[in-house]
Each structure stands twice: as structure tokens, then as C-alpha cells.
Structure 1
Amino acid sequence: MATFDIPTMRDQIREHDEKRDAGLTEPDTLEIIKDLSYGPYGIENTFDIYYPIGTTTCLPTIINIHGGGFFYGDKELYRFYTMYLATQGFTVVNFNYRLAPDHQYPAPLEDTNALMNWLIEHGQSYYIDLDHLFLVGDSAGAQLVEQYTTLTSNSVYAQNFPFKVAAIQFKAVALNCGAYFIGENGAINQDFPFYFGDTITPTLESQFPVERYITDSFPPTFVTTATHDMLKDLAQPLVALLQSKGVETTYRLYANQDHSELGHVFHLNQKSDIARQCNNDELAFFKEFSLK
């Protein structure tokens, strides 16, 4: 089994992300509510809400699940991306969840579910439209979006988990550069042993591959990847599977016009025109369903 130097990887990725975001400022057109709490796990259960200044009624609401290989990332590193989404006429929820290896599977799913229950109870006070919810995630976050959406759309699958799934549905979801088909071609924990642990249990085997449990009740889905995304080869098979189930699915493979490298989670770079195009394409997709 591969070994992972988690502290070093965190430092390397954070250096890259901070360089990407250097010089960016938070928009002055938003109400920005920071560090709300949705659960008992301190800073790992905190979240922010953003919506345009002057908002007086509930808006279509995007909930972002950040990426980071299940061991890295937080809402601070996603604030410029998620704030941009909010400037386009949405309420946006940007949250932390517990990370591996200190907290292993299914901690992020439990936390996502706890957040949804908080939103059900308190969301209308923050202009969250529970009837027009959209879920977006990238990399490991896209896997969590896929899995949590399967939980909310397949009650049989939900019975395999130790928590009661929130009574919530999504109008549409967006999956960016995601890690799909875990357990399809080998041991469930071979790629993320620090997340799943060393022991494969019958319970875990009943939960993966997630794709086995996707039904025609899965919401409309926007799937993106890029020419040099390390997970690019997983996108089209997922699109084909969703379409085979009758799920309304849009697929985009993004490329730079000059054929230069366009890599993993490129859409987070708020200085990039191609990122802006991707994000606007997804928002347009969401807006189609915000009227339904």
C-alpha cells in the first residue's frame, strides 16, 4: 500500500493555492457571514454564507463541498471562488468538514448531513431557498457530492449508513474534476488508505462503488474536467453511466486556446478566463433549474 506524507502534501498544496489567490480581495457587493457553527467539531464544523447586498427574499442556494483528497482544504481557500458564485445572484454556503487521517470515512458525509439539517432548521433566516438547492464540489469534494446526492436520491442506499439522511433534495449538481468509481477496479482503500483505513468491512463494501446505486432519481448533473486533469479519464465514464440511468447530464472538457496545460481544479483560479467560463457555464446550468 502506498505511503502518504500528509503534512508535506498539505504544505505543498497550500503554497500552490495561496499563490493562485495572491492579490484577490473579497467583493464589496456581498453580505458575508463567517464562522457559523453547524456541529460539535469546532473549526471543522464551521461555515460561511454569502448573498448579494440588498437581498430580501430567499435565493437559489449553492452549497460547495471543497476538495483536497479528503485530507486537505478548508473554506478559507474556497472563499474567492464561492464568493464569485454568490455575486451572480445566489446564496452560497461554504463549509469545513472533518479531514483524514484524524477523522476517517464517513466523517465528511456525516458532516455534510449535519450541515443540511442545520440549513433545514435555520436556512430561511439567511435567504436559503430549500426548494432550490444546488450542490457543487471538486476532486474529493466532487466524490462527496456524488455520494451524498446518491444518499438523498436512493433511500435503499441510504439504509447502508449509520445516520439518518436529511430530508433534502437538490435541483441539480456540478461535479468538477472528480474522483469517481472508488472500489470499481480494486480494493476500496487502495487510493485513499488514510481516509478509509486498513480494514475493508462488509459495510464498506455495501457502500462502494457508489455508482452502482445511482438511479434515475439522481438530479441533473454538470460534469467538468480539463485537458491535463489527472482525473480526466473518470469523467466520461461517469457521464455515460448517468445518461444510461436517464439523468439529464451535461459534459464539458475545458481546454486553453493555446493548448497550454489546463490542470486539476482549474476552475478555482479566479484570475483565469477559462475558469470564469467554466463557472459561468455551471451557473447557467443551475439557473435553468432555479425556475422549476
Structure 2
Amino acid sequence: MIQIDVEKMRAEFQKGDAIRDQGLTEPDTVEKIRDLSYGPHGIDNTFDIYYPKGTKQALPTLIHIHGGGFFYGDKELYRFYTMFLASQGFTVVNFNYRLAPKHQYPAPLEDTNDLMHWIVDHAAEYYIDLNNLFLLGDSAGGQLTEQYAALTTNPDYVALFDFEIAPVQFNAVGLNCGAYFLGTEKPIEASFPYYFGETPSASVKKTFPVEDYITSAFPPAFVMTASHDFLNTEGLQMGQYLVSKSIETHFKVYSNQDASELGHVFHIDQKSAIAKACNLDQVQFFQAHLNK
């Protein structure tokens, strides 16, 4: 079993994220609607919506699932990154979800689904285009992106859960430095005991590996990792796996020209030129999959 000191790791991650974002300011070209609520779980069910100032009609909409190993992270840590995406001509939804170990699987999936129901009900109020939805996430959020996209495209998979899937479909997804193939080489509880519990039920175990439930209906996918990402192998495997399922896939490993270290979720760093290049590549991929 992998045992971690959650509070210690949260503090370490927060320190690193603060250094990364030090000196950044929010763009004044983006409208920000903050702290909306999509569910019953207080601050864990709050979210922000961003779109370019002057927007008068619905825009293609990106829904971003933050990372953090299922135990860390929130919308505030991703605001600069998601506001940049909004500046490229999108409505962007940046949300919190319940975290482990207090809340275990499938709480983040349930929250993501509740958010989707809210989006369907309120799209017209916030320039959300339900005909041009995109889902993306990194690290643990990449895994949740993969899993929720599988749910929206496989009714047999939905039947394993006790919630009603929201009536949404995604034009494409972004799988960034994600944790995939859980339950393939070792039990899910061996990787994330604080998330799945040390003795997950048979019904929980049946929902993994997620890859077993990916069908040809899975959305086109932009899959990326980095040269020194500790999840590099999983990213490569995911790209190859989706291609093997005849799913349109754009896969890329990003690296620095001088071969210096480029690590996990590098793309969040708004001071980085290679992060900007990666993010624009993904934006271009999404734009190529717009419904006119």
C-alpha cells in the first residue's frame, strides 16, 4: 500500500504552486463570474466561469477538471491557466470537487456529473454552447476526464453507477499528464488507498480499468505528457491505446530544446513559453473539432 501524509503533501504542493504563480495577475480582458454553486457540498461544489469581455453569444465551452492526486487542488490554483484558455475565445468552467481522504471514490465523478447537469440547465445564462463542449484535465483530473468521457459514450458503463448521467457529449477531450490504466497491473487500492479505500467493494472494482469501457464512440483526444513527467509511460500507453481503438488521437511528448527537465503538469505555468505552446496546440485541436 502507498501511504502518504496528506496534510504534509498538500503543504508542499501549495508552496510549489505559489512559487510558480508568483507575480502573475489576472487578465483584464476576461470576464470572471466567481463562486457559483452547482451542488450541496459547500465550497467543494463551487465553480467559476470565464469568457472574453464583450461576449454577446454562446462560445465553445471548455470544462476543466483540476489535478492533485485526488487529495489536493482547487479552482484557485488553476485560475491563471483557465483564464488564458478563456482569452482564446472560449467560455471556460473551472470547478472544485470533493477531495480524498474525506471524500472517496466516486465523489469527484458524482460532482463532475452534478456540474454537467447544472451546465445543461443554465447554459443560456452564461454563454455556454452545449453543441460545442470540450472536457479536459491533468494528472488526477486527466483520469477523471477519461472516465467521465467514457461514461458519456458507453451506456453499459453508466449502468455500473447509481447516478443519472447528464445529457452531454464532448466534441473532444484533453488528457494532460494523466494517471491512466488504474487497476491494470495492480489493484486500484494499491495505488490510491486514500481515494478508493483499503478494501474497495466489488462494485467499485468492477468500474476499473476504465480503458475496458472505452468504445469507438469515445471523443477525439489530445493526449500529452512531458519528457520528465513521472506519468510519462501512462501517457504514451494512453495515446497508443486510443489509436488501437480507432479513436482520433493527437499525442505529443513535450520537451525542452536543451534537454533540461520538463516535468509533470508543466502546462499550467503561465510564465513558460513551452507551456504556452502546448496550450495553444490543444486550443487548435479543439477549434478543429467545432460544430459550425
TM-score range, shorter chain: over 0.9
1:79 alignment partner AA = R
Question: Where does structure 2 lack aligned partners over 5 or more consecutive residues?
Answer: none
Distance 1:236 1:198 in 2: 28
Q: Residue 199 of structure 1 aligns to a residue in which SS? A: coil
Distance 2:266 2:46 in 1: 25
2:46 alignment partner AA = T
| Superposition pairs of residues 152-163 of structure 1, within 5 angstroms | 152-163=152-163
Alpha-carbon offset, residue 236 of structure 1: 1.7
Which residue pairs with 1:39 in the alignment?
Answer: 39
1:230 aligns with 2:230: yes
**Deviation sequence 1:23-80 (CA, Å, 0-9, x none):** 0001000110000000000000000000001101100000000000000000000000
Distance 1:57 1:139 in 2: 32
Alpha-carbon offset, residue 162 of structure 1: 1.0
Q: Residue 152 of structure 2 aligns to a residue in which SS? A: helix
Distance 1:240 1:72 in 2: 29
Which residue pairs with 1:183 in the alignment?
Answer: 183
Alpha-carbon offset, residue 240 of structure 1: 1.5
* Conserved 8 A contact 2:221-2:249: yes
Alpha-carbon offset, residue 9 of structure 1: 0.1
**Deviation sequence 1:116-137 (CA, Å, 0-9, x none):** 0000001221000011000110
Q: Residue 223 of structure 1 aligns to a residue in which SS? A: strand
* Cα RMSD, aligned residues only: 0.7
Alpha-carbon offset, residue 205 of structure 1: 2.1
Q: Residue 114 of structure 1 aligns to a residue in which SS? A: helix
Alpha-carbon offset, residue 291 of structure 1: 3.8
| Superposition pairs of residues 20-59 of structure 1, within 5 angstroms | 20-59=20-59
Alpha-carbon offset, residue 107 of structure 1: 0.2
Alpha-carbon offset, residue 239 of structure 1: 1.3
1:258 alignment partner AA = D
Distance 1:56 1:109 in 2: 32
| Superposition pairs of residues 184-203 of structure 1, within 5 angstroms | 184-203=184-203
Which residue pairs with 1:68 in the alignment?
Answer: 68
Which residue pairs with 2:137 in the alignment?
Answer: 137
Alpha-carbon offset, residue 200 of structure 1: 2.7
Which residue pairs with 2:273 in the alignment?
Answer: 273
Q: Sequence identity, in percent?
A: 61
Distance 1:68 1:155 in 2: 28
Which residue pairs with 1:14 in the alignment?
Answer: 14
Which residue pairs with 2:121 in the alignment?
Answer: 121
Question: Where does structure 1 lack aligned partners over 5 or more consecutive residues?
Answer: none
**Deviation sequence 1:130-181 (CA, Å, 0-9, x none):** 1100011000000000000000010110100010111110000000000000
Distance 2:2 2:281 in 1: 37
Distance 2:144 2:277 in 1: 24
Distance 1:116 1:101 in 2: 24
Alpha-carbon offset, residue 251 of structure 1: 0.3
Distance 1:223 1:160 in 2: 26
* Conserved 8 A contact 2:131-2:291: no
1:167 aligns with 2:178: no
1:117 alignment partner AA = H
Which residue pairs with 2:220 in the alignment?
Answer: 220
1:127 alignment partner AA = Y
Distance 2:257 2:55 in 1: 38
1:250 alignment partner AA = H
Distance 1:45 1:200 in 2: 25
2:158 alignment partner AA = A
| TM-score (structure 1 length as normaliser) | 0.99
Which residue pairs with 1:241 in the alignment?
Answer: 241
1:262 aligns with 2:267: no
2:141 alignment partner AA = G
Distance 2:69 2:18 in 1: 17
Which residue pairs with 1:87 in the alignment?
Answer: 87
Distance 2:76 2:201 in 1: 35
Q: Residue 288 of structure 2 aligns to a residue in which SS? A: helix
